[in-house]
């Protein structure tokens, strides 16, 4: 993976194009480390996730899993479980963070790549992108957050359609289902995703981050817990200089329109 921090935007890039950006053991460990970094570094105000080559991500590297383990020996189920756990740590860090994430999806997404893509809160997809599961084709079950993040995005019935059949969804259908946020021509994906990230950083970025965190974590807590968190969060934000200036500006503009 490639990574950089510029003007508050952490730019993470899947960079194994010859393997369709599928994650092997080494890439999984780097993903975990980067996920924990962007979730904890106050200098990171937004994340841009993208990929090199023709595909966005094919999930776990099945070819690597079928040939050699982390120590160079044959792969056992325990190796696969350990590898998934490492990648899951990065996914959890990003999803549960207060940093908004935009993904630039320029190509095909398959298997666990769906879960990695869905760590993003805003997904810009190319009009030529394709989306599929492929787990059942090789006798495996979903990992990398797919069993949770996919139904959260598109509903349980459609998620089951993807994981129980050999179905490939085009970009237009992905947009209709809510799998992606917007679809643009392939040559506009990178620029549009960067504009989204820059917009967050240049705006009320603390509020964007807290809004993302509240929505992402809300489904896993009681309603009362969510209400308490909302109340505490909006109060804390209200005391920031950024919010006070924006609230005052909004109030002044409203009074002007009434007069």
Which positions are annotated as active-site residues? 88, 143
Handedness of CA 163, 166, 167, 168 (dihedral sign): positive
The rounded distance, in Å, linking the Cα atoms of 43 and 41 is: 5
Query: How many CB atoms are located within 10 Å of the residue 51 CB?
Result: 27
The rounded distance, in Å, linking the Cα atoms of 190 and 103 is: 9
Helix, strand and coil percent figures for the chain, each rounded to 5: 55, 15, 30
The rounded distance, in Å, linking the Cα atoms of 50 and 88 is: 18
The rounded distance, in Å, linking the Cα atoms of 155 and 244 is: 38
What spatial distance separates the first Cα and last Cα of the chain, rounded to whole Å?
Answer: 56
Q: In sequence order, what E strands does 77-200 have? A: 101-105, 108-110, 122-126, 130-132, 168-170, 182-184
């Amino acid at each position: 993976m490639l990574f950089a921090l510029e003007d508050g935007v952490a730019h993470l890039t899947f960079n194994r194009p010859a393997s369709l950006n599928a994650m092997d053991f080494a890439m999984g460990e780097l993903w975990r480390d980067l996920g924990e970094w962007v979730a904890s570094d106050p200098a990171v105000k937004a994340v841009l996730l993208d990929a090199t080559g023709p595909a966005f991500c094919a999930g776990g590297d099945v070819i690597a899993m079928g040939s050699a383990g982390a120590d160079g020996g044959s792969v056992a189920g325990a190796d696969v479980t350990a590898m998934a756990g490492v990648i899951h740590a990065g996914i959890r860090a990003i999803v549960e963070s207060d940093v908004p994430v935009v993904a630039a999806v320029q190509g095909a997404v398959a298997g666990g790549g769906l879960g990695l893509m869905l760590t993003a809160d805003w997904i810009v997809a190319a009009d030529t992108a394709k989306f599929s599961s492929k787990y059942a084709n090789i006798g495996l079950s979903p990992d990398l957050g797919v069993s949770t993040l996919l139904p959260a995005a598109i509903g349980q019935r459609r998620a089951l359609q993807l994981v129980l059949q050999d179905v490939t969804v085009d970009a237009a259908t992905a947009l209709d289902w809510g799998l992606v946020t917007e679809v643009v021509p392939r040559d506009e994906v990178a620029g549009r995703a960067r504009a989204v990230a820059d917009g967050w950083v240049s705006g009320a970025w603390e509020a964007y981050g807290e809004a993302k965190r509240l929505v992402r974590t809300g489904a896993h807590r009681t309603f009362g817990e969510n209400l308490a968190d909302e109340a505490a969060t909006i109060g804390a934000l209200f005391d920031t200089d950024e919010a006070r200036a924006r609230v005052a500006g909004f109030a002044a503009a409203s009074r002007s329109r009434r007069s």
